[in-house]
Amino acid sequence: MKSNTLAALAVVSTPQQVHYNTEAIQAMDTAHYLHPFTNFKALANRGAQVIVEAQDIYLWDSQGKRILDGMAGLWCVNVGYGRKSISDAVYTQMQQLPFYNSFFNTTNIPAVELAKALVEISPPQFKHVFFTGSGSEANDTNLRMVRRYWDLLGYSERHVIISRHNAYHGSTVAGASLGGMSAMHAQGSLPIPGIVHIGQPYYLEGGKGLTQDEFGLKAASWLEDKILEVGADQVAAFIAEPLQGAGGVIIPPATYWPEIQRICSKYDILLIVDEVICGFGRVGCWFGSEHFEIKADLMTFAKGVTSGYLPLGGVMVGDKVAQVLIEKGGDFNHGFTYSGHPVACAAALENIRILREEKIIEQVRDETGPYLKQGFDSLLDHPLVGMVDTCGFLAALVLVKEKAENIFDMQMFPKDLGVGQICRDHMFKHGMIMRAVGNRMIVSPPLTMTIAQIDEMIALIRFCLDETLADLQ
């Protein structure tokens, strides 16, 4: 047995049989590490769970506890953990060329090969890519690109970008402004000027008295209302996720996207689709755009492009925008040290090879995705589960106080009870990671999850729902 540098105390059994001193790690963590999206003081009091190893769909913590990762890390480990061929590709590339930038008329082979591979799997209007280090940086890039596009065409006044409440587009200043998270806007005087928001297509929230289809059209009409309010000649673009991930796996009605597309065309507004979560197989095709039949001008990606093994993001640039930037643009004064990082690109290439050769996306589309839906639907008999939404390998259930025939008559738990957090804590305690967004409990598992593992996950969720129910009574 090996011993970690933070000397071993507890008896543990992680696959690599390493002993960890959890308390020492937690104390050091609290002393020096400010975590993202975290209440620092509350975390210092409880101590972070220390994740030390991962294989397939499972994580292990420093006390040897096995955890089923229902969130694929942070919606990203699409090919599952422990892929030796990705670490081999990274190791080889590290030795050959660990870094060089793509500024000043230079390039590197993995970045070129990845650009070609991305064009092959993207919708046909995309033949160019701009690389970034993350999804947030990619959305910052979108903002700069669409404004530059309109400048070059002589319409500098077209600078406003329309987004949606409860959207998530990242955490940089532009990313958080493009997003529609009120808790983020409340810190740091966001959104920045030139970004406005419309309502989200969440049927349960705004659809009372309407069919799903009617509500889809209504929610899309808010875009037209906003364009007219701002002035069509001021609007540069509309940005949206195919379905809202971090907002709680909110799946728009079928009528929503065709109507959004029609409105964008009518007013010549660029359409930016943020595929950071939906991309790379998550909804049973390479991109959510295929599922919802969206024809966007720009497409944000990150996360699943490397299955999270290394940081990488980017923007697929459609022909309409690329042509103007290339032919008329001169210097585009934007980019990052790590744009086209050769090692991250090598990881992405191997990740895409795995997705292709193991036919993982087809499996999600034809077999495991429908089975996951069946599993979630089976939870509808639980007294706490009022509604279930699924799309590919994304699923959400709505926790309710009292069910009713009509979803709009269901009794919800008071917000300040934090029912989602109560449920999430039970999940954690019993070795299951599920995310809580208000009263919506969501999963986004590795796409490699098998039928037997889906059964295991559904059984765990049911058990933890029982525990939550007992807690609330």
CA nearest neighbour of 328 among 148, 105, 158 = 148
Tell me if 411 sits within 8 A of 400, measured CB to CB.
Answer: yes
- The residues of the shown chain that bind ligand PLP, judged by CB under 6 A, are 134-136, 139, 168-170, 241, 245-246, 274, 276-277, 302, 313
Query: What is the nearest approach in angstroms of ligand PLP to the Cβ of residue 169?
Result: 5
Nearer to ligand PLP, 73 or 253 (CB): 73
Query: What is the nearest approach in angstroms of ligand PLP to the Cβ of residue 134?
Result: 3
Beta bridge partners of residue 395, listed in sequence order: 390, 443
Tokens 């810190």 belong to which residue?
187
Tell me if 1 sits within 8 A of 17, measured CB to CB.
Answer: yes
Query: What is the nearest approach in angstroms of ligand PLP to the Cβ of residue 273?
Result: 10
In one letter, which amino acid is 326? I
What is d(CA 461, CA 375) in angstroms, rounded to the nearest whole number? 10
Nearer to ligand PLP, 175 or 284 (CB): 175
- 3-state DSSP assignment of residue 328: helix
CA 139 to chain centre: 13
CA angle 115, 116, 122 (to 5 degrees): 85
295's CB contacts (< 8 A; 6+ apart) are: 123, 125, 261, 271, 289
CA 187 to chain centre: 22
The half-sphere exposure of 130 on its side-chain side, counting CA atoms within 13 A, is 26
The half-sphere exposure of 193 on its side-chain side, counting CA atoms within 13 A, is 2
Query: What is the nearest approach in angstroms of ligand PLP to the Cβ of residue 289?
Result: 13
Residue nearest to ligand PLP (CB): 135
